[in-house]
Amino acid sequence: MAAGNFAGVLVPVLTPFTPEGAPDAARFAAFCRWLLSEGADGLAVFGTTSEANSMSPQERMALLDHLIASGVPADKLMPGTGACAISDAIALTRHAAGHGCGGVLMLPPFYYKGMPDDGLYAFVAGVIDKVAAPALKIYLYHIPPVAQVGWSLDLVGRLIHAYPDTIVGLKDSSGEWQNTASLLERYPGFAVFPGSEVFLLDGLRKGAAGCITATGNINVRGIRRVWQNWQGPQADALQAEITTLRKAVQAYPMVPALKRVVAHFLGDPNWAFVRPPMVPLGEAQSAALLADLKKLGFTLGERRQAA
């Protein structure tokens, strides 16, 4: 199969909203640039952590236009372009491909449950055929705890076989290490990214391409230390450190918690806004989270020596 365009630590970027509830393109672009300056190897904008499914396709495309116009290199971007409606998925994928994005991250259509693999296959095939962009690289997005619908191991193989130049990788947010391990064993060369840095070191030791992780929004440097030193003597200690931070954050609702941390460290309360159906972290929870992080010595974007 074809090589993908990404490796390392990718961040599913949080999407800021204005007090009126609109996507805040300027804050978004500034945050994306900062993540790249912190060392992010790519930006998986419009993922679950990004509240992408709380935005219309038009809102997502307008944000992407702004992001690229603001100078963020398209080849660093892996926008989420999956949708329940194939027409939306085609429009979003065509738009991302037209910008020359390094790849797209594709959720399966997730409204109808229990659909046969033939139906999911037809969905992906329909998107690829209609977009008809030879350079398009699709990363499948497997997140059954949220989407409920996922890409089975067999279906992944069938898609790789049918579209070897296009279906180049997968983000595995199943939370099941065995699924990640099975993908790596069955499809050597396929770019598998665990959806949490908790599995980063184990993944790299089995051939994973890196990870795409929510906590990357606040800890690119820490996670990249594992990526850069995974064959060194400090690898397990560095992994333990990022796992500890991850677990501290995921004790709270993840997206509101991450936004609260960003709002706190940037001194910008607007960053805490979420769109319904999410709700912001309450004051007591926010204080507890920040206290938990303080105990770990956490500072946003701190510059420690790589181990």
User: Which residues form the interface with a copy of itself (CB under 8 A)?
Assistant: 21, 48, 53-59, 84-88, 91, 108-113, 115-116, 118-120, 122-123, 126, 145-149, 275-279
Least CB distance to a copy of itself at residue 122 (A): 4
The nearer residue to a copy of itself, 23 or 102, going by C-beta atoms, is: 23
Least CB distance to a copy of itself at residue 14 (A): 14
Residue type, 217: N
Any idea what DSSP says for residue 109? P
Least CB distance to a copy of itself at residue 123 (A): 4
* C-beta neighbour count of 90 within 10 angstroms: 18
Cα(74)–Cα(138) distance, integer angstroms: 15
The nearer residue to a copy of itself, 279 or 287, going by C-beta atoms, is: 279
The nearer residue to a copy of itself, 233 or 277, going by C-beta atoms, is: 277
Cα(24)–Cα(148) distance, integer angstroms: 29
Tell me if 219 sits within 8 A of 37, measured CB to CB. no
Least CB distance to a copy of itself at residue 141 (A): 12
Q: Indicate the angle between helix axes 57-69 and 25-37, nearest 10 degrees.
A: 50
The nearer residue to a copy of itself, 84 or 133, going by C-beta atoms, is: 84
Residue type, 282: G
SS3 state at 177: helix
Least CB distance to a copy of itself at residue 167 (A): 16
The nearer residue to a copy of itself, 54 or 229, going by C-beta atoms, is: 54
The nearer residue to a copy of itself, 112 or 294, going by C-beta atoms, is: 112
Least CB distance to a copy of itself at residue 226 (A): 28
Q: What size, in residues, is the chain?
A: 307
Among all chains, which residue has been given the structure tokens 């990363």? Answer: 139
Among all chains, which residue has been given the structure tokens 């790596």? Answer: 184
CA distances from 146 to 7, 110, 149 (A): 25, 9, 8
